Amino acid sequence: MAVLADSMADDFNNILTVILGASSLIDCDSKSPPELLMCVTLIRASAEHAASLSNRLMQMCSVRKHHKHSKRLKKFFR
């Protein structure tokens, strides 16, 4: 289960990278209307929050994988 969650979080981060990159390109365009820039700010904030949640999920999966491998090693060396 942890491997699936880790894989999904990684894929989700890839999608968020595209969203953040596109929002940065729009933000850099000096011709963008202020209303669009306000929307881009909300999009970026939401994507950054989602990336933070995804990274926490990947960290949790990593800790669980490490814990699982530690248990196996302890059994092996008993």
pTM: 0.69
Q: Exposure string (b/e) for 12-36, b if CB count within 10 Å is 16 or more?
A: beeebeebbeebeeeeeeeeeeeee
Q: Report the C-alpha gap between 57 and 54 in whole angstroms.
A: 5
Q: Residue range 9-36: average pLDDT?
A: 91
pLDDT score of 77 more than 80: no
Domain assignment of residue 31, given as a range: 2-76
Give percent above pLDDT 70 in the chain: 78
Report the pLDDT value the prediction gives residue 10, as an integer from 0 to 100.
84
Q: Considering its fold, how many domains does the chain have in total?
A: 1
Residue 26 · residue 32 · CB < 8 Å: yes
Residue 26 has which token pair? 């729009």
